[in-house]
Amino acid sequence: MSDIQLLTEISSLPANLRQEVFDFVAFLKHKKQQKTTVKKRQFGYAKGYFEMTDDFDKPIIIGTLSTE
């Protein structure tokens, strides 16, 4: 859709719907600004918050379940 077609369609709307289009465009601009201001996470930020056991890399052996 070209800019002229879009402008023609918006111009043909009643005033209250044009206001909704305006509000939606403002929302989209705000949404885009929020995405660009997200900071990248630092490597090692969670260091010290949890510990892994020494046998973390060992395979897990799943035995048979008893129904007794």
Q: Is residue 58 part of a domain?
A: no
Q: Is residue 14 part of a domain?
A: yes
Q: Quick one: pLDDT at residue 67?
A: 59
Alpha-carbon span 19 to 14, nearest angstrom: 9
Q: Is residue 51 part of a domain?
A: no
Domain boundaries, position 23: 3-36
- Domain count across the chain: 1
Q: Is residue 24 part of a domain?
A: yes
Q: Quick one: pLDDT at residue 65?
A: 61
Q: Quick one: pLDDT at residue 38?
A: 65
Q: Is residue 13 part of a domain?
A: yes
Q: Quick one: pLDDT at residue 48?
A: 85
Q: Is residue 62 part of a domain?
A: no
pLDDT at 55 over 90: no
Q: Is residue 57 part of a domain?
A: no
Beta strands per DSSP E along the chain? none
Q: Is residue 32 part of a domain?
A: yes
